[in-house]
Amino acid sequence: MGGIGANRDHPAEFFYDNMIMGVELMHHAYKRGVGKFVATGTVCAYPKFTPVPFKEDDLWIGYPEETNAPYGLAKKMMLVQAQTYRQQYGFNAIYLLPVNLYGPRDNFNLETSHVIPALIRKAIEANERGDKELQIWGDGSPTREFLYVEDAADGIVSAAEIYNGDQPVNIGSGYEISIKDLSEMIVKLTGFQGKLAWQTDKPNGQPRRGLDVSRAKELFGWSAQISFEEGMRRTIEWFKANRDKIK
């Protein structure tokens, strides 16, 4: 998996690898008599123009955003597999839809990383070089929702312990932010002194992403606890402390 650039450059690999991983893992878990299987999908499975906030019942109303559709569709097939294996075999497989994750130990490789780790690294390194500009893909208008990694882990564990149904369940923070506002926050938190330069010839990706997270609360009592700014501070601090270990 990766950001827009990685998805655009490796669509066949991302489709094949994710499809095969999901199908084989769940199938062999069933064959070996595993008592419960937790499948983690992706927000990329949602249609490009899903009404915001994204509700789980809208998963099939359209085609995903083009740059990440191969990845998103491969992951969405795990929902079909989970529901059909439950129907035919009585296999207890549940399906979760995590939103974009971030936090310590994220992937900070600029060729494959998602927007938050990429911008953190670019801002810090640009500031050290004394750059006057920080170049960012797109025009800043798309919105995204992000979930701190510890909240994500807690949500997955809570579902594993409590939830045993066939409905897909969003795992998110319920907080939507534009790429422009996100970039300005990172500039502020990293201390970058230059200006933002928007590369409008680059793709924006999906126009908006924001989840309805009420189902997780209703079905297994889970909701995110870490505020976005606090999670960002922790992520930036971790990157600064571990830069020498990151390629």
Secondary structure (DSSP) of 37-76: EEEE--GGGSBTTPPSSB-GGGTTSSPBPGGGHHHHHHHH
Other CB atoms within a 10 A radius of the CB of residue 23 amount to 14
Evaluate whether 184 touches 174 at the Cβ level (below 8 Å): no
Q: Which residues pair with 39 in a beta bridge?
A: 95
Question: How far apart are alpha carbons 231 and 215 in whole angstroms?
Answer: 23
Evaluate whether 208 touches 52 at the Cβ level (below 8 Å): yes
User: Is-catalytic flag, 71?
Assistant: yes
* Catalytic residue chosen out of the listed positions 16, 46, 63, 71: 71
Q: Please calculate the CA angle 145-181-106 and round it to the nearest 5 degrees.
A: 50
**What are the tokens at 152?**
């994500």
Annotated catalytic sites, by residue? 71
